[in-house]
């Protein structure tokens, strides 16, 4: 008999999830990924409308579930997937604001590391400053797929910010240290993966350029994100 509702936020059995879970922020994007790319897709979680699906991509079993916005949200869902549901790898797929001068709209950014302006790390009581990094194997595979598909991409640091709107901070100053883009989840994912002995990777599509003011329309964002999603599906283990 299946053991359901192991946590307050995910209402299914551990075996309902594949070993790799893609995590967009938006529940509707999770639904779109399942309906567009999966065969035999099954809705396995819908608590709080955070939709999770499991199906098959080119014969490979894979899952997708929304993370919500920000480090507290992905912190909850990735922790539970890693520690209660037997998930081995989580690949975040989302949007980011480009701050590196070489980036253009719709470029793919692979987050080799994640700087952060967050207190999320404080829970570990570490006697120093922690570097949040991606799983090297997933990162390398993502680069290989981008090369094979001829995509415009960059690999490097992203900034995981707690604030979408801020009176005090100019996020583009991080570009002086080579940071590529700003998003809101990767650092928490990488920390949870490290603590659980699992794998995490963030792949983002540049949806706007923070220094230049360019931004994609909602329709453009929807279409451009498919490149990033295909990369994540190809490297799912």
Rounded Cα–Cα distance for residues 75 and 73 (Å): 5
Rounded Cα–Cα distance for residues 217 and 219 (Å): 5
CA 171 from centre of chain: 20
Mean pLDDT of 23-27: 94
**Over the stretch 95-137, which tens digit does the pLDDT of each residue have?**
999 999 999 999 999 999 999 989 999 999 999 999 999 999 9
**What band does 230 get if pLDDT is binned at 50, 70 and 90?**
very high
Looking at residue 45, what DSSP letter applies?
E
Mean pLDDT of 39-53: 94
What token pair was written down for 27?
């529940």
Query: Closest by alpha carbon to 50, among 31, 19, 28, 27?
Result: 27
What token pair was written down for 132?
């949040």
**What band does 5 get if pLDDT is binned at 50, 70 and 90?**
low
Rounded Cα–Cα distance for residues 158 and 109 (Å): 8
* Domain at 14-235: CATH code: 3.40.50.1580
Catalytic-residue membership of 167:
no
**Over the stretch 70-86, which tens digit does the pLDDT of each residue have?**
999 999 999 999 999 99
Query: Closest by alpha carbon to 187, among 137, 124, 131, 122?
Result: 131
Tell me, letter by letter, the H, E, C secondary structure of 129-198. CCCEECCHHHHHHHHHHHHHHCCCEEEEEEEEECCCCCCCCCHHHHHHHCCCEEECCHHHHHHHHHHHCC
Active-site entry in 40, 167, 170, 208? 208
Specify the pTM.
Answer: 0.94
**What band does 1 get if pLDDT is binned at 50, 70 and 90?**
very low
């Amino acid at each position: 008999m299946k053991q359901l509702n192991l946590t307050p936020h995910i209402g299914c059995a551990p075996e309902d999830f594949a070993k790799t879970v893609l995590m967009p922020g938006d529940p509707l994007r999770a639904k779109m990924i399942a309906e567009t790319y999966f065969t035999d897709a099954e809705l396995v979680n819908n608590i709080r409308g955070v939709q999770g699906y499991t199906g098959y991509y080119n014969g490979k079993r894979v899952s997708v579930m929304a993370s919500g916005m920000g480090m507290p949200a992905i912190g909850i869902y990735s922790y539970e997937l890693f520690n209660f549901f037997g998930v081995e790898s989580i690949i975040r797929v989302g949007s980011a604001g480009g701050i590196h001068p070489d980036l253009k709209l719709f470029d793919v950014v692979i987050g080799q590391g994640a700087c952060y302006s967050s207190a999320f790390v404080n829970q570990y009581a570490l006697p120093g400053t922690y570097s949040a990094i991606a799983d090297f194997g997933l990162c390398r595979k993502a680069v290989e797929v981008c090369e094979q598909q001829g995509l415009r991409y960059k690999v490097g640091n992203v900034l995981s910010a707690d604030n979408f709107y801020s009176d005090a901070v100019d996020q583009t100053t991080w570009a002086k240290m080579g940071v590529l883009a700003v998003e809101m989840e990767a650092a928490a994912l990488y920390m949870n993966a490290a603590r659980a002995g699992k794998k995490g990777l963030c792949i983002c599509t540049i949806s706007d350029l923070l220094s230049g003011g360019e931004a994609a329309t909602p329709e453009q964002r929807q279409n451009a994100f498919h490149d990033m999603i295909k990369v994540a599906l190809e490297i799912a283990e």
